[in-house]
């Protein structure tokens, strides 16, 4: 595995999506785990990444609240943080951001039922930390697929909302409830 020299990476470009830099929020309180994730991102990602770190749920909320809708492209979330009671509490505090960007749970927990619960609540994926070290290419693909899937779902949702608004306006026009201000 050869690291990509800074400035030599391409943009993250897919149909309808082009990012010069992928902004990644890593929510991890353990310094060793953070540096391992950072090193993997620096080594395996074929596109430029800007990595921000939060050591707690409250730090992450501050970063997300300051960021614009497109400011963070993916969240890598550890579940064992100092200001949450349990893994479910950690995810619950961050889960409302899943509309803005994909959340990938990245944890030392190997609990299958916990993973299913997180995925059912909107997480894009659930990865064990030891697995990304053994299979760094998998880590890259999960991030890439999560960004793509999130973009696709968001585009579909926007399209459906647009169609719904058009049909609502037509219905209002047909029933006489339409106003010129629409």
Q: Say which CATH number the domain at 156 has.
A: 3.40.50.2300
pTM of the model: 0.77
Residue 131 lies in a domain: yes
User: pLDDT-derived band of residue 181, with 50, 70 and 90 as boundaries?
Assistant: low
Residue 2 lies in a domain: no
Residue 181 lies in a domain: no
Residue 54 lies in a domain: yes
Look at 112 and 19; give whichever has higher pLDDT. 112
Residue 162 lies in a domain: yes
Contact 83, 64 (CB under 8 A): no
Q: How far apart are CA 112 and CA 53, in angstroms?
A: 27
Find, among 48, 47, 116, 118, the residue nearest to 86 by Cα.
118
Residue 3 lies in a domain: no
How many domains does the chain contain in total? 1
Find, among 15, 124, 133, the residue nearest to 74 by Cα.
124
Residue 5 lies in a domain: no
Residue 1 lies in a domain: no
Q: Is the pLDDT of residue 85 over 70?
A: yes
Domain of residue 108: give its range.
12-175
The three-point CA angle 143-91-55 to 5° equals 80
pLDDT in tens, 89-109: 999 999 999 889 999 999 887
DSSP 181: T
In the block, which residue shows the tokens 């030891």? 130
User: pLDDT-derived band of residue 177, with 50, 70 and 90 as boundaries?
Assistant: low
Q: How far apart are CA 52 and CA 153, in angstroms?
A: 25
Q: How far apart are CA 13 and CA 79, in angstroms?
A: 30
Q: Summarize the confidence of residues 52-75 as an average pLDDT.
A: 90
């Amino acid at each position: 595995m050869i690291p990509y020299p800074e400035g030599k990476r391409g943009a993250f470009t897919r149909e309808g999506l082009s990012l010069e830099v992928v902004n990644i929020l890593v929510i991890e309180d353990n310094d060793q785990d953070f540096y391992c994730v950072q090193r993997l991102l620096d080594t395996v990602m074929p596109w430029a990444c800007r990595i921000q770190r939060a050591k707690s749920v409250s730090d992450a909320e501050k970063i997300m609240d300051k960021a614009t809708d497109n400011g963070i492209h993916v969240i890598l979330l550890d579940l064992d943080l100092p200001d949450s009671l349990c893994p479910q509490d950690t995810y619950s505090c961050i889960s409302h951001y899943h509309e803005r960007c994909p959340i990938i749970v990245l944890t030392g927990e190997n609990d299958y039922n916990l993973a299913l619960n997180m995925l059912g609540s909107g997480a894009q994926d659930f990865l064990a930390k030891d697995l990304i070290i053994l299979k760094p290419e998998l880590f890259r693909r999960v991030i890439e697929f999560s960004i793509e899937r999130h973009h696709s779902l968001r585009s579909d949702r926007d399209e459906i909302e647009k169609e719904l608004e058009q049909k609502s306006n037509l219905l209002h026009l047909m029933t006489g409830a339409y106003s010129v201000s629409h």
